[in-house]
Amino acid sequence: MAIRILPPEVASRIAAGEVVERPASVVKELVENALDAGACHITVEAESGGRRLIRVSDDGTGIASQDVELAFHRYATSKLSTIDDLSRITTLGFRGEALASIASVSRLTLITRAAGEPVGVRLYLEGGQIVEREAVGAPQGTMITVENLFYNVPARLKFLKKESTERGHIAALISRYAMAYPHVRFVLSHGSQELLRTTGSGDLLAVLGEVYGLEMASQMIAVEGRADSHTRPDLHPVRVRGYTGLPSLNRSNRGQITLFVNGRWVQDSSLTVAVVQAYHTMLMVGRYPVTVLMIEVPPEELDVNVHPTKAEVRFRQPDAVFSAVQRAVRQALVAEAPPPAVRGEVVWGSPEWAVRRERLAQVTRDRMQQLDIDLGVESPGQHGHQPTPAHEAGAESAAGGPQRTRSLPLLRVVGQVGATYVVAEGPNGLFLIDQHAAHERILYEQFMAERAGQSVASQELLEAVVIELPPDQMALAEESLDILHGVGFGIELFGRNTVRLRAVPALVAGGDPVGTLLAALGEIECGEMPTGATAEEALIARVCKQVAIKAGQLLSHREMEALIRQLERCQTPQTCPHGRPTLLHLSAEQLARQFGRLGAI
């Protein structure tokens, strides 16, 4: 094929793909424009996850009537005029691409009236082409309505996710901007449902309450830090403000670490690490905090022109910013939340250890009672009562049938090491069992056996709990109702951003119902699935992990025996549901070799 220059409408749709990936990217650009225009009230409406309609209205400066057509040209902006301006950008926009891009892949209506103009303008475009222009009465400000997004880019349309997913992205985005701009009043609605409303009072904590719910917001503490320019005059000042969660408020992924740099939401993996590091030894491995931080640096220290979506930035002194963030969060945590004693670093055998031992023992006793773990001696015939998994039906008849071949040898409990591992002796050497992983495996198989018997038993809570969820998690909960019901959660939607939890899977009934549900939602969100597992299996695995005995819990001899007996009954006792080993084996031969006994005379 000969080389040709693409017709402008094709070129513009291709270029639009860089800025507009999904409905939430349209919302982001329009909201940023409203903020740049100095708006105090921003209203966002969406329908069908933003596919059918997105409307952003603001009370900002408006666009002068002679400029309205120009605003839809690529590289048309009022925010920058020379290349030098780029090094001191204080607005969110500057590339002059957004309106042109959005208009080229949708049907767009603009209504705007600039301050001081008697009437407003209405402009209607299809695929970037102006179809209509008329004078209209309008309040000061701008309202942009984007309909049928990607109607002329079928390839993009195909890649859009379910309505609830796209809606979740929009909700998460507005939640973030509401937190970064507490002085601005945001209202977000989807169809007839209002998802978020902030007051614009300027109080970040109040916004956190709106976004996360009061329960979560009450577990967040203020962060306020300034890099000290006295000790390091060579570094530019960095200001870090915001809120961060107490260690007890944690998540299974980094999705709730929200960072703004000079008012711009950024995704910066290095700064995310700085936040996580600030929690060193306060959070378990694999758990992440909930954090919202506003980082401010002099504009000339920052390169915002890295990517068309402007979600990445470069710092001239990345280390200065990294350490300012880490220090500010750490300071806040240490001041308000001394590391919980049980999880602190304790050296085995130290005097402190003896004290902790008693406390741990108590914690463990309570926990075991809560979990109602089968700690007693094995009741006769108990195994036979468990529904037999379908694929195993042939190998084992019901009660009293021949035992299936053992996948673990008979083990004799010797003791516990570090309140984490059970030491046991088998016919051929020594076994070390990870108590947490083993219990996860046991719960998982019990769960799966119940499921194979068609119904997962649910246990009604004494009192239903009403839980407020952040809007994006709410979308997730809504989308996953079937799966959640399937595994035994009695959960229903209960008004704006709240769900009502009536029942939990019976197997985990003794635990913390809210924590269990949040863990399940966390799994759906991040989907760290073992290969080949269905969403449902992954979720069950996550719930089991949440309620399993933790490392650091002292177990009595009887409790350890009960654990081992139950592990022996598992079909796949060697690994936890996530694939990590539950036990290590040191054979008699290995021991003999290590001690130089093999071949000794």
User: Which CB atom, from 28 or from 569, has the smaller least distance to Mg ion?
Assistant: 28
* Residues of this chain, 315-334, that bind ligand ADP according to CB under 6 A: none
Binding to ligand ADP by residue 94, rule CB under 6 A? yes
Q: Is the dihedral of CA 330, 336, 341, 343 positive or negative?
A: negative
Binding to ligand ADP by residue 108, rule CB under 6 A? no
Stretch binding ligand ADP (CB under 6 A), from 95-103, 216-224, 298-306, 351-359: 95-103
Binding to ligand ADP by residue 60, rule CB under 6 A? yes
Query: Residue 303 in contact with residue 264, Cβ under 8 Å?
Result: no
Near ligand ADP by CB under 6 A: residue from 99, 103, 178, 204: 99
Binding to ligand ADP by residue 77, rule CB under 6 A? yes
Residues 6+ away with beta carbon under 8 Å from 560: 413, 415, 416, 422, 435
User: Which CB atom, from 93 or from 513, has the smaller least distance to ligand ADP?
Assistant: 93
Reference 548, options 515, 523, 526; nearest CA is 515
User: Which CB atom, from 77 or from 582, has the smaller least distance to ligand ADP?
Assistant: 77
User: Which CB atom, from 17 or from 387, has the smaller least distance to Mg ion?
Assistant: 17
- Greatest C-alpha distance within the chain: 108
Q: H or E stretch including 371? A: helix 351-371
Binding to ligand ADP by residue 63, rule CB under 6 A? yes
Smallest gap from Cβ 79 to ligand ADP, in A, equals: 5
Binding to ligand ADP by residue 444, rule CB under 6 A? no
Binding to ligand ADP by residue 78, rule CB under 6 A? yes
Near ligand ADP by CB under 6 A: residue from 45, 58, 268, 525: 58
**Distance of alpha carbon 474 from alpha carbon 40, whole angstroms:** 27
Binding-site partner at residue 63 among Mg ion, ligand ADP, none, CB < 5 to 8 Å by type: ligand ADP
Binding to ligand ADP by residue 559, rule CB under 6 A? no
Binding to ligand ADP by residue 487, rule CB under 6 A? no
Binding-site partner at residue 37 among Mg ion, ligand ADP, none, CB < 5 to 8 Å by type: ligand ADP
Structure tokens at 247: 């260690």
Near ligand ADP by CB under 6 A: residue from 52, 79, 161, 485: 79
Binding-site partner at residue 291 among ligand ADP, Mg ion, none, CB < 5 to 8 Å by type: none
User: Which CB atom, from 123 or from 217, has the smaller least distance to Mg ion?
Assistant: 123
Binding to ligand ADP by residue 106, rule CB under 6 A? no
User: Which CB atom, from 116 or from 351, has the smaller least distance to ligand ADP?
Assistant: 116
Binding to ligand ADP by residue 95, rule CB under 6 A? yes
Smallest gap from Cβ 40 to Mg ion, in A, equals: 18
Burial of 560 (0-12, 13-18, 19+ CB in 10 A): buried
- HSE on the CB side for 347, CA within 13 Å? 3
Smallest gap from Cβ 266 to ligand ADP, in A, equals: 17
Smallest gap from Cβ 25 to Mg ion, in A, equals: 12
Residues 6+ away with beta carbon under 8 Å from 464: 500, 501, 502
Smallest gap from Cβ 33 to Mg ion, in A, equals: 4
Query: Residue 216 in contact with residue 290, Cβ under 8 Å?
Result: yes
User: Which CB atom, from 35 or from 469, has the smaller least distance to ligand ADP?
Assistant: 35
**Distance of alpha carbon 148 from alpha carbon 157, whole angstroms:** 10
User: Which CB atom, from 99 or from 477, has the smaller least distance to ligand ADP?
Assistant: 99
Residues binding Mg ion (CB under 5 A):
33, 93, 98
Stretch binding ligand ADP (CB under 6 A), from 61-69, 187-195, 333-341, 440-448: 61-69
**Distance of alpha carbon 493 from alpha carbon 500, whole angstroms:** 6
Strands (E), 9-77: 41-47, 53-58
Structure tokens at 217: 């917001």
User: Which CB atom, from 33 or from 198, has the smaller least distance to Mg ion?
Assistant: 33
Stretch binding ligand ADP (CB under 6 A), from 90-98, 246-254, 451-459, 570-578: 90-98
Q: Is the dihedral of CA 280, 283, 288, 293 positive or negative?
A: negative
* Residues of this chain, 136-175, that bind ligand ADP according to CB under 6 A: 142
End-to-end CA distance of the chain: 83
Near ligand ADP by CB under 6 A: residue from 25, 43, 61, 582: 61
Smallest gap from Cβ 189 to ligand ADP, in A, equals: 19
DSSP 227-247: --TTT-TTSPP-EEEEEEE-T
Q: Which residues pair with 126 in a beta bridge?
A: 107, 129
Structure tokens at 151: 């109607």
Structure tokens at 457: 């038993």
Structure tokens at 199: 């007051």
Q: Which residues pair with 288 in a beta bridge?
A: 251
Taking residues 35 to 54 in sequence order and writing x for each that binds ligand ADP by CB under 6 A, - otherwise, the string is: --x-----------------
Binding-site partner at residue 448 among Mg ion, ligand ADP, none, CB < 5 to 8 Å by type: none
Smallest gap from Cβ 93 to Mg ion, in A, equals: 3
Q: What dihedral angle (degrees, nearest 10) is formed by the CA atoms of 301, 307, 309, 310?
A: 0
Q: What dihedral angle (degrees, nearest 10) is formed by the CA atoms of 325, 330, 333, 334?
A: -150
Give the three-state DSSP class for 474.
helix
Strands of the sheet containing 583-586, edge to edge, are 412-417, 421-426, 429-434, 583-586
User: Which CB atom, from 30 or from 261, has the smaller least distance to ligand ADP?
Assistant: 30
Query: Residue 495 in contact with residue 507, Cβ under 8 Å?
Result: no
Binding to ligand ADP by residue 73, rule CB under 6 A? no
Query: Residue 44 in contact with residue 189, Cβ under 8 Å?
Result: yes
Binding to ligand ADP by residue 34, rule CB under 6 A? yes
Which residue ranges make up the site for ligand ADP (CB under 6 A)? 29, 33-34, 37, 58, 60-63, 71, 76-79, 93-100, 142
